[in-house]
């Protein structure tokens, strides 16, 4: 299983949010400092998110992506603020290896279909669930689309990867929603990256043993509840 240390960027700083609420942000420091830290700990992939872009719809972290890639050469998946084909192209050109698309898929399905056609599995479906339903616009709006139904749809479109986030678990160190994550994987056939609440080695082992493809690590590695190097060893 691949672990994806998160670097969530809000107003140019690395932060963690509670339940995706920007009013409940903990500021940690410079994104590049954490990119270096996670790379030195043995990270195989980074998860870099433009939170400012997720809330505003205007992407603004391409320079950070470019600098991380040039300095550390580590693969990057990146989301936040990607609302158009042009946004996706800029993020990929900046050095992202995959881009996470959520809001566009619901709000602009034709453009999303074009993105899937154009970029294939450089697209990771961002499936953010609240009470089982898809949430958009930085998790501020809940839709009437069931998360699993959306997962099945993108798999039929040819996508292989999805980032599944249980919003209720995000940023609170409350443990991963393993059951919902496994259900998403089994019901859709997607390679699912678990996000939200992954905070212990037990979470990692349970996800790994359940056949989950990957997991995002956030607050737990920032607050020191989980050692990234140790977690990577547990995921192997």
Catalytic residue IDs: 8, 128
Q: Cβ neighbours of residue 23 under 8 Å, at least 6 residues apart?
A: none
Query: What's the residue count for the chain?
Result: 236
Cβ atoms of residues 188 and 148 within 8 Å: yes
Would you call 1 helix, strand, or coil by DSSP? coil
User: For 187-216, b where at least 16 C-beta lie within 10 A, e where not — what string?
Assistant: ebebbbbbbbbbbbeebbebbbebebbbbb
Written as one string, the DSSP assignment of 48-101 is EEEHHHHHHS----HHHHHHHHHHH---EEEESS--SHHHHHHHHHHT-SEEEE
- CA 64-198-9 angle, to 5 degrees, is 20
Cα(36)–Cα(91) distance, rounded to whole angstroms? 20
Would you call 153 helix, strand, or coil by DSSP? helix
Cβ atoms of residues 145 and 134 within 8 Å: yes
CB atoms within 10 A of CB 7: 28
């Amino acid at each position: 299983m691949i672990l994806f240390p998160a670097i969530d960027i809000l107003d140019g700083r690395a932060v963690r949010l509670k339940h995706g609420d920007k009013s409940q942000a903990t500021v940690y420091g410079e994104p590049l400092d954490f990119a270096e830290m996670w790379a030195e700990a043995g990270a195989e992939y980074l998860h870099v998110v433009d939170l400012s872009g997720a809330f505003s719809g205007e992407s603004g972290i391409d320079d950070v992506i470019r600098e991380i890639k040039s300095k550390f050469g580590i693969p990057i998946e990146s989301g936040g603020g990607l609302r158009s084909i042009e946004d996706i192209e800029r993020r990929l050109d900046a050095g992202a290896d995959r881009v996470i698309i959520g809001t566009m898929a619901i709000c602009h399905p034709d453009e999303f279909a074009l993105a899937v056609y154009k970029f294939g599995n450089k697209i990771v479906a961002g499936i953010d669930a609240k009470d089982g339903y898809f949430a958009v616009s930085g998790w501020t709006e809940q839709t009437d689309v069931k998360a699993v139904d959306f997962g099945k749809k993108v798999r039929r479109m040819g996508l292989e990867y999805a980032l599944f986030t249980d919003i209720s678990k995000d940023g609170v160190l409350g443990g991963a929603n393993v059951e919902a994550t496994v259900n998403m994987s089994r019901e859709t056939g997607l390679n699912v990256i678990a996000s939200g609440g992954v905070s212990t080695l037990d979470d990692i082992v349970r996800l790994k043993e359940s056949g989950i493809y990957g997991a995002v690590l956030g607050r737990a590695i920032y607050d020191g509840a989980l050692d990234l190097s140790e977690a990577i060893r547990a995921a192997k």
